[in-house]
Structures are given as C-alpha cells and as structure tokens.
Structure 1
C-alpha cells in the first residue's frame, strides 16, 4: 500500500514538473515578427513573418475596389510596416482606405500613388 502511494506521489510530482517546464519555456519564447517586401509580376508586395514563417502575404493594395499591386517597394514597405506595428502593439491589423490615403499610398480617387 505504501509503495503505491509513493509511486503515485512520484508520478504526480513528475507530471507537475513537466508542466512547469513546458509553461516556463513557452513563456520565454516570445514570437518575433518581421516584415519583408518582394517583387511581383505586377509591382510589389509584402510579407509579415512570425518566427521566419509567413503569416500575411499581401501582394495587392488592401481595402480598395480595384486589384492593384503596390506600385513601388516604398509603398509596400510603408503599409507592411504599419501592419507590423499594429501586430506588435496588439491592435487591429486591417488597413482602411483612410490609412492608405494618410500614408499616401492611394489618392482620393483610390488610385495608387507612385512613390520612389
């Protein structure tokens, strides 16, 4: 009877220890996000990466009716950095037409602005 209790206690302590190690290692492994631009057939796009794995691949200007690639690397980078900033600050990630106009990626007619 005592051996069963000792075995159960050791098994329970080992389980608690494994759970504690798992939780501690996951808490310290904060995911790192990054952004990179890339050339497309029609223009430019950007990727948001989490621990070097793509989680967002945006090859068109978001929020506008027409399907346009980013006309320059600079415009893709501006929006990619805005999305990355929002992810890191745990804010709403989506990009609005107002965001695009404020960052001078589109004009008031929702047409892409070519920036160098």
Structure 2
C-alpha cells in the first residue's frame, strides 16, 4: 500500500505560487518606482535677467551654478546689450529650450528675427 503525503505537496505548491506572485509584485513595484523617479527628475535649469551698463542680458544656471552668462546680443558684430529685459529673457528661454532638447545652445540671426529682437 502506498501513502502519498498530499499535505506537503499542497503546501509546497502554494509556497511556489506565492513566491512567484511576490516576485511579480516586487518587479512591478521596482519598475513603478524607477518610472516615478525618472519622470519626476526636476530640471534645475533657471533663466534670469541681468542688468548691464547698457541694457539687459541673461544668465542660465543649473543647480545654482551659472553655466551661461550672456551680456551682449549674440551673432551681431556690435557689442550691444538687449534693449529690454523681455528681449533678454526671450533669447535666454530659447537657449534653455535648446539645452533641454540636447541641441547646441547657439543663437542664429534667424532666431533673433523670429523673436523680434531689434539689433
């Protein structure tokens, strides 16, 4: 006569299913945590206007460290500052957007024209 211990088999099967289920939840939790952290990565870039002797300029900082300080209008041959704070900030925001898009932060004459910056 053969006796099968069905209690141990039942326990082992349940344990395996629970471990597999626990692994799925753990993987799901880690994946959600990674997604949350990567999406909530705060961009620490900041554009600020800068008053100069002859007008306005802008600075772009990252983590409170200035990475770009522009006191004159780029691309033009004269060393003139922006006439208004609004002009300086509009060019600064354009440069910031280029940095965020992983593009070269250079400003072209076309950019100045599109932003209606009078040179």
TM-score of the two chains, using structure 2 as the length reference: 0.63
Of the candidates 74, 78, 89, which is equivalent to residue 66 of structure 1? 78
Q: Hey, what's the Cα distance between the residues in 1 that align with 2:63 and 2:75?
A: 27
Structure having the larger proportion of residues in helix? 2
Q: 1:41 to 1:93 in 2, by over 3 A?
A: same
Which structure 2 segments of 5+ residues have no match?
1-37
Which structure has the larger Rg? Answer: 2
Aligned residue runs from structure 1 range 20-59, under 5 A: 32-59=44-71
What RMSD in Å do the two structures reach over aligned CA positions? 1.7
Aligned to 2:11: none
Aligned to 1:87: 99
Q: What is the count of residue pairs matched by the alignment?
A: 81
Shift in Å, 1:30: 6.6
TM-score of the two chains, using structure 1 as the length reference: 0.65
Which structure 1 segments of 5+ residues have no match?
1-27, 112-116
Q: Hey, what's the Cα distance between the residues in 2 that align with 1:98 and 1:40?
A: 24
Aligned to 2:112: 100
